[in-house]
Structure 1
Amino acid sequence: MKNLIRLIRPKQWIKNLIVLLPVFFGGALLHPSAIYAGLITALSFSFAASSIYCLNDIIDIEDDKHHPIKCNRPLASGAISIPQGYTLMVLMLILSMASTFLLYDHQLETAGVIAFYWLLNIGYCLKLKQYAIIDVCIVAFGFVLRVLAGGISTSIHLSKWIVLMTFLLMLFLSFAKRRDDVVRMNETGHAPRQNTIRYNLTFINQAITITSSVTLVCYIMYTVSPETIQNFHTDYLYLTSVFVLVGLLRYIQIAVVDKKSGDPTKVILRDRFTQLIVLAFGLAFLFIIYVLR
C-alpha cells in the first residue's frame, strides 16, 4: 500500500490548489460555494495528475533505474509491477472523472477541461516531452487548464492577466526545474531527460531571467489595469508587487546559488523564506481588497 501511495505522489497534489486562483483573485474567499467547487476541482485534477504520474513512471522506468534519486521510485525499484501501474493509472482517471459530479454546477464543462488536460499529458509522456521548449510550454499550459477549470467550476470570470501570469510563472518554474537537470548532466555526464542535451546553463539562465521579468511586469499591469481597479474598488494593489518581486528573486537564488530547484513542490513545502513571502503576499492582497477599499 505504501508503494502504491508513493506512485500517485499525493505530496504533489498541493500544486493543484492553483485552481483556487480564480476564487482568490475574484474576491470570493468568503463564499463557501466557491471554496467547495474549487476544492472539488482541485481533487479531480489531483486524481488526473496521479494517473499521469503512473504512466510517466512506466514509460521512464529504464531511465529512472539509472537516476540517483528516481531509482527509488516504486516501479523503477521493482516494488510495483507494470500491470499494477496501469491498473492504478486507470483507477485514478475514473476517480477524477467521477469526482467532478460532486460539483453543483458545470460538471461536464469541468470534466471536459480535465479530460483535455489528461489527453494532453498522455501525448506529453509518450512523445512531446522529448522536445525542448515544447516540454516546458506543455507543463505551463497544464496549469493554465487548472485555472480555467477553477474559473468554470466556480462561475468566476477570469481576467486575461491571471491566465497570462499563470502561464508565465509556471514557465519560469519549469525552466528552473530544467536547470537542475542541466547541472546534474554537467556533473555526471548523464542526461536525466532525453531532451536535456538541448538545454545548457546559458540558455536556461536567460530563459529564467526573461520569464521572471515578464511575469513581474504582467502582475504589475494586472494591479493597475482599469478592470482590476473597478473590480476591487481600490488602486492600492500595486503595492503587493514588492512581494512578487522578492518571491521571484528568492526562487532564482534557490535555482542559481543553491542549485535546488529540481522540485518546486519541495521548495514551497520546505523553504521558510518562500513560505513567508507567499503568506505576506496573500495577507497584503486580502487586506487591501477587504479592508482598505
Structure 2
Amino acid sequence: MKIDLVQVNSAAAWPIVVDLDGTLTATDTLVESVIQFIKQSPLNLLRLPFWLLKGRAAFKDAVCSRAAISADRLPYREALLVYLRSEKSKGRHIILATAAHKSIAQGVSDHLALFDDVLATDMGRNLKGSVKLEAIQEKLGTDFVYAGDSRSDIPIWNAAQAAILVGASAGLAKSVRDRNPVEQEFSKEPIGFSTWMKALRVHQWLKNLLLFVPLLTAFSFMDIGKLATIALAFLSFSSAASATYMFNDLWDLENDRAHPRKKDRPFASARIPILTGLVVAGCLLMLAFALALVVSQAFFLMLLLYVILTSSYSWMFKEYVLIDVIMLSLLYTLRILAGSVAAAIPTSEWLLAFSVFMFLSLALVKRCSELISLEQIGNIAARGRDYRVADLAVLSPLGVASAMSAVVVFGLFINSPDTQSRYATPGLLWLVAIGLIYWLARLWIKTSRGEMHDDPVIYAIKDRGSRSTVIVMAVTMLIAHFLALDGML
C-alpha cells in the first residue's frame, strides 16, 4: 500500500492537495453525471454535443447543474482517506483540487468533512493540468504535496514538493519516482479474472441453456447439426446478455450502491472503469449480432427483440411494480422461443404456458428475496424500484400461486393425447410433477427464511438439494420417454 520515499520533517506544514476523479474516488464523476442526465431522458443525449462545443467547463456546468451525484454513494479509496485523516490530525491542511464540477466537489467536501478548501471547475475555467496548477499556486504558492493518479497530473507533481501516487499505472509511477520525491504510494488494484467474470455475469449464461429446451423436449439432442446450431446460438445470446448486463449495471450505479450486496459489483465499486465497461459491452454486442446472423436471419431478429426488451426493462419497466417481474418471465420464455427458431423445431403451447408460470414464480422469488434483505437491514422500500417491504404480503402468495400453476399445467400436459403417444411410460411423469412441487416449494421456503440468493438461478446451482432434484427430474423424463414400464406401474 505504501512506499515511503521522503520524510516530511520541517515540511510537515506542507498542505496536501488531493485530486478527486481516479484518486480520492476510483470513478469518473463527469461520466456518472452524463449517465444520470441521459437517464432522465434518452433524448438528452442529443444535447450533449452542442454543450461540448462551448468548452469543457461549460459542458460540465450544463450537465452537473441538471444531474445530481450523491457524494455519500461514491466509492472512495478508503486507504487514502485513512492516510489523509491521519495527516490532518497532525495539523496538515488538506485541499481538494479537481477538474470535477464545483457542485460535485463541494458535495464531496461536505460529506467527508475533511478538506480545508475546495478548488474545482466552474463556468469560467476547467481545472485540469496546468490550469489546476495555476489555481493551486495562487492559493498555496509552491509548498504543497499533490495526490493524483494520471498523466495529466505530471505538471503538478513536477511543481510540488512531493508526490502522493494513487492508483497510478506502473509506467507512470516509475516516471514520477524518477523525477519527484514520493511521500506515499497507494498501488492500483489490478482488474482480476474473477472481477471480469462478475462484470460479464458469466454465471447468468446458465439461463441461456433454455435455448436447448426445444431440442431436449423434441428428443432431438442426438442431431449433431441442430446441436451445433444451438451451441452457436447459445454463444450469441450469452454475449448479448453480458453486454446488456454491463449496460444495466452502468445505468443503475446509484441504486446498486444503495443495495447491501449489489454495492460490491465491479462497476458500482469502481473496480472496472465506466468507459472500459462501455467499450467491452459494445464489442460483445457486435459479436453477438454477428454470430446470430451466422445462425439465421430469423434468429437474428429474435436476438434483436431480446436486446430491445431487456434494454426496455433496464431503462424503464424495472421501475414499475409487477410489470418488471412479468417482463423477466417473458425474457426467460423468449429464450426458449429463440432456441426453437434456431433449431427449426416447433415449440408446443404446453411448454410456453408452463414456462410463463414457472419463470414468473422465479422472478417473484428474486424480488421477494431482495425485499427480505432490505427488511433485515431496516429499510422499508427498494431504491429505484416501486417496491416496499410491505408488498411481501402480496408478492409471496402470488409467487407460490404461479409455481403451483406451472405444476397444474404440467399435470394437464401429462394427460394430453400428444404426451400419451410420445412417451413410452407417460405415467412416470407424475414423479416429475412431485419433484416440481418439492423444488419450487423449497425455493419459496428458503426465500421466506431470508436464505435465498438475489438470483434463484445461482441458488439452484449452489444448493445441493436443488441440483439433485433437477437431475432426478431430468433423468425421470428420459426414462419416461424411452422405457416402456407400463406393466410395472
Q: TM-score range by the shorter chain?
A: over 0.9
2:368 to 169, 179, 200: 179
Q: Note if 1:118 corresponds to 2:310.
A: no
Change (3 A) 1:178 1:25: same
Larger Rg: 2
Higher mean alpha-carbon deviation, 28-37 vs 157-166, is at 28-37
Deviation at 1:279, TM superposition (A): 0.4
- 2:392 corresponds in structure 1 to 201
What is the alpha-carbon distance in structure 2 between the residues aligned to residue 292 and residue 95 of structure 1?
46
Contact conserved, 1:184 with 1:191, CA < 8 A, in 2? no
2:286 is the counterpart of 1:97: no
Could you tell me which residue of structure 2 aligns to residue 226 of structure 1?
417
Is the contact made by 1:132 and 1:198 (CA closer than 8 Å) also made in structure 2? Answer: no
What CA distance in whole angstroms lies between the structure 1 residues aligned with 2:433 and 2:352?
Answer: 17
Bigger mean CA deviation after superposition, 2-11 or 203-212: 2-11
Q: Once the two structures are superposed, what CA deviation does each residue of 1:188-222 show, in whole Å capped at 9, x if it has no partner?
A: 21525422228612111211121011110011111
Aligned equivalents of 1:58 and 1:276: distance in 2? 36
CA contact (8 A) 1:41 1:150 kept: yes
User: Of 209, 223, 232, which aligns to 1:17?
Assistant: 209
Question: Which structure 1 residue ranges, 5 or more long, are not aligned?
Answer: none
More helix by share: 1
Equivalent of 1:212 in 403, 423, 427: 403
Question: For residue 284 of structure 1, what is the aligned residue in structure 2?
Answer: 476
Q: Do residues 84 (structure 1) and 276 (structure 2) align?
A: yes
Distance (whole Å) between structure 2 residues aligned to residue 160 and residue 53 of structure 1? 30
Distance (Å, rounded) in 2 between the aligned partners of 1:69 and 1:261: 10
Question: Normalising to structure 2: TM-score of the pair?
Answer: 0.57
* Larger CA deviation: 260-269 vs 49-58: 260-269
When residues 142 and 132 of structure 1 are mapped into structure 2, their CA distance, relative to the original with a 3 A threshold, is same
1:273 paired to 2:465: yes
Letter in 2 for 1:146: R
1 or 2 for the larger relative contact order (CA 8 Å, sep ≥6)?
1
Per-residue CA deviations over 1:232-290 (Å, capped at 9, x if unaligned) read 35432334212112211221222123531421122121111111110000001001112
The amino acid that maps onto 1:124 is Y
Pairing 1:32–2:224 present:
yes
Q: Residues of 1 paired with 2:247 and 2:390: CA distance? A: 25
1:61 paired residue among 247, 253, 277: 253
Task: State the Cα distance separating 1:178 from its structure 2 match.
Answer: 0.7
| Contact 1:29-1:35 within 8 A present in 2 as well | yes
- Aligned: 1:154 with 2:343: yes
Identify the match of residue 321 of structure 2 among 122, 132, 138. 132
> How much has 1:66 moved relative to structure 2?
2.4
* Bigger strand fraction: 2
CA distance in 2, matches of 1:26, 1:18: 13
Matched position secondary structure for 2:426: coil
Q: Distance in 1 between matches of 2:341 and 2:390?
A: 36
Contact 2:432 2:473 in 1 (8 A): yes
State the shift of 1:110 in Å. 0.7
* 2:437 aligned residue (242, 245, 264): 245
Identity of aligned residues (%): 24
